[in-house]
Structure 1
Amino acid sequence: MSTAPAAAFDPASATIAVVTYNRSGLLTRLLTSIAAMDPKPGHVVIVDNASTDDTTELVESFRERLGTTLVYRRMETNTGGSGGFSEGMRVAYELGSEWIWLMDDDVEVLPEGLAKMGKWAPRFKSIQGRRYDYDGSEFYWQYRVAEPLAIPIPFAPAGFDASGYRPMNSGCFEGMFIHRDVVAEIGLPDPRFFIYWDDQTYGWLASRKTASVIVDEFVLRRTREIKQWDMGVRHMNASSNAYRFYIMRNRAHIKQYYRALGVYRRVPFALGTALTFGKELIRLLFVEHTVRGTSHLFRGLREGRKIAKDASWRPMPPLEAVRRS
């Protein structure tokens, strides 16, 4: 694993890459917060997943007031968060960015957010900051994955010691801060996921190449309220039928990555899939108070079987390999 220290962090070497879809109100808050940042990144890339609202006009209205270079990419179709982040990272990489900071449109950046992330940049190359939830509480993100099961560990310690960081083997595109060297090695995020498991898988791939950490720095704040079940120290969010479909279908993409990298173990992975299914049933009952939606879980499993049997499936290629070919 690469742990060699990098040069001192230059904010202008960073690019914020945002994916948005039909949420211009939320995007307004995010762009307003970026305009207030100090320091600012060298570029801001907005990937618009073919929005039908006023997103294009909104982005253009910020071009002069943002205080940094704005790049707008409008997709021809909705490629999901996975496709959007893949495109956003591609654009940022081709701009020559040393650091790429990914985020959804339903957060805002704290004014000193980039400086806080940059403080860790000379030491690590895959970094996750912390965020406040919509109500101002400290959001807990499951930063450790039980690798054989390929599921998050919900009881990984939430606190930090004097080091100010914890090793992670996962990732979250709502705040992933990653160096171009790691992107070159593992390639772009996989757009085939469409939504869900894509960031966990990408963070896991990164952790196989470099020391990945979550740091005790609050840098983002969520701006969208989500229906939740308060479990005390943890929350469980509401979801959607699309979410239920992809959370089960995309287990097959993870299985294929595991096979390609030689870490797949059939029984533990099947247990992880069963636990995921069970968790989604609990989410339906206790967060959404319904049993409707289970058909989408089964449909996802059926589609996943086709993916798992696809002998032509290949992982996303390293960017170094793409350049050479």
Structure 2
Amino acid sequence: MTDKGPSERIAAVVVTHDRPKLLLECLASLIAQSRPLDAILIIDNASEMSTREALHAAGFTDSGGKDSTLTYCAPGRPAIQIRYLRLEENTGGSGGFKRGMELGYNSGFDWLWLMDDDSEPELRALELLLAGGDTTPGSETLLLASKVINEKGETLRLCRGWFDKELVKHNPLPESDYRLETTFVGYATFVGFLVSRRGIAVTGYPDEGFFILYDDLDYSLRLARHGKLLLVNSSVVVHKELMRSAQGAPAADWKRYYRLRNRIFCAKRHGGKTLPIIVLFAKLFLNELTRARNAGAGRKGAHLRLTVKAYFDGIFGYWGKRVEPGSC
């Protein structure tokens, strides 16, 4: 274990879309970190004007414009650079994180800490993350990951785990592994995801073709080809909306399309033998047929058409934003 060296520069990358209240809460928790960040890079995925207005009112941008860089000075805190960039088109989480990582890497930062806008790291999350892993140049550890919990304090186990190449499935980390100080993992979601400059250099950036969902699994598996991914359990990040959406109504059809298409694509890209992949495809299709039968009278046909589209696009590699968010 090593402490942060004086030359290590760390920036948080936060991707947001039309959630100004949650974004401000996320930024407040990042600014309050016991180990101060050197910068925060905010990538705005074509949000409505309310996001820009909220950021400007809080002093995080120098104007209501689409591109801003300033030095923010909170009372009693070190100065921190805040860069805000609004994209002209909603590129999804994958496109947003790709753009943010490009900015961070090209700006010379040593580590980038990825966050959704509904994430809130605990006060010492970054300090403990750095203390728990080897951050020396040349280390095999390319990623340090925080433990992710919900607002009730329950561990969100799906956020960290291992990918079974032979069975073509991702398995959440067992509860016992969260009782260890640190443990290696096979994948981590883009929440409390601290990736090194060397990791980015050998892996590249997230594949923006995913748009949303499974982009972090894909990136983790690509990153793991070059080094190790370490979970530090003392470092904790609260993920708010993930819990709320899990407890609410079923996912919107447009999200279901991306989940199905991208899972099929990940199976093709990272799976092992052909037979388990075929079995997975058949199982997923049967699940969707069951959902279609249980859908309302006016939605069965649309459900099946979207399922077929997801399969076709995933198998034949039709990539990018193929279904507009909120359209179904």
**Same topology, TM > 0.5:** yes
Contact 2:148 2:191 in 1 (8 A): no
Note the 1:312-323 alignment, pairs <5 A: none
For the 8 Å contact 2:268–2:277, the answer to whether it is kept is no
| Alignment partner of 2:111 out of 99, 106, 125 | 99
Structure 1 SS opposite 2:83: strand
Counterpart Cα distance in 1 of 2:291 and 2:154: 21
Instruction: Name segments (4+ residues, structure 1) moved above 3 Å.
Output: 5-12, 255-258, 272-286, 288-295
- The Cα shift of 1:251 comes to 3.6
Aligned to 1:152: 170
Give the alignment's TM-score, normalised by structure 1: 0.79
Q: Which residue of 2 aligns with 1:50?
A: 46
| Structure 1: distance between partners of 2:167 and 2:305 | 23
Looking at structure 2, the residues matched to 93 and 237 of structure 1 have their Cα atoms a distance apart, in angstroms, of 38
**247, 255, 278: which is aligned to 1:270?**
278
Tell me if the contact between 2:133 and 2:232 (Cα under 8 Å) persists in the aligned partners: no
Q: Does 1:138 align with 2:148?
A: no
Are the aligned partners of 1:248 and 1:277 in contact in 2 as well (CA < 8 Å)? no
Structure 1 residue aligned with 2:231: 214
Distance 1:278 1:25, change over 3 A: farther
TM-score (norm 2): 0.78
Q: What is the alpha-carbon distance in structure 1 between the residues aligned to residue 168 and residue 73 of structure 2?
A: 43
Name which of structure 1's ranges 145-154 and 12-21 shifts more when overlaid on structure 2.
145-154
RMSD over equivalenced CA pairs, Å: 3.1
1:79 aligns with 2:96: no
Residue identity in the other structure for 2:317? I
Percent of aligned pairs with the same amino acid: 25
Residue correspondence of structure 1 range 1-325 to structure 2 within 5 A: 8-9=4-5, 13-60=9-56, 61-63=58-60, 64-65=72-73, 67-122=79-134, 124-141=141-158, 142-154=160-172, 156-160=173-177, 164-224=181-241, 226-228=244-246, 238-255=250-267, 257-258=269-270, 264-277=272-285, 293=303, 295-307=305-317
Q: Aligned partners of 2:42, 2:190: CA distance in 1, in Å?
A: 14
Which of structures 1 and 2 has the bigger CA Rg?
2
Distance change >3 Å, CA 10–CA 277, structure 1 → 2: farther
Greater Cα shift, 199-208 or 210-219 = 210-219
User: Take 1:6 and 1:277, find their aligned partners in 2: how far apart are those partners?
Assistant: 48
- Closer/same/farther in 2, CA of residues 161 and 187 from structure 1, 3 Å limit: closer
**Structure 1: which amino acid aligns with 2:313?**
E
Contact 1:11 1:42 in 2 (8 A): no
Gap change, CA 1:279 and 1:221, over 3 Å in 2? farther
C-alpha distance 17-280 of structure 1, shift in aligned 2 (>3 A): farther
In 2, distance between residues paired with 1:91 and 1:59? 20
CA–CA distance in structure 2, aligned partners of residues 92 and 273 of structure 1:
37
The answer to whether the Cα contact below 8 Å between 1:169 and 1:212 also exists between their aligned partners in 2 is yes
Give 5+ residue unaligned stretches, structure 1: 230-235, 311-325
In 2, are the aligned partners of 1:42 and 1:69 still within 8 Å (CA)? yes
Change (3 A) 1:294 1:118: farther
The answer to whether the 8 A contact 1:100-1:178 is kept is: yes
Partner SS for 1:160? helix
- Counterpart CA distance in 1 for 2:152 and 2:180 is 28
Structure 2, unmatched stretches of 5+, are: 61-71, 136-140, 320-328
Q: CA deviation at 1:44?
A: 0.4
Matched residue count:
293
The CA deviation at 1:283 is 8.4
In structure 2, what residue type is equivalent to 1:119? A
**Offset at residue 275 of structure 1 (A):** 4.4
Report the 3-state secondary structure (helix = DSSP H, G, I; strand = E; otherwise coil) of the residue aligned with 2:234. strand
Bigger Cα displacement from structure 2, 296-305 vs 188-197: 296-305
Does the 8 Å contact 2:161/2:170 carry over to 1? yes
Instruction: State the Cα distance separating 1:157 from its structure 2 match.
Output: 1.5
- Counterpart CA distance in 2 for 1:175 and 1:284 is 36
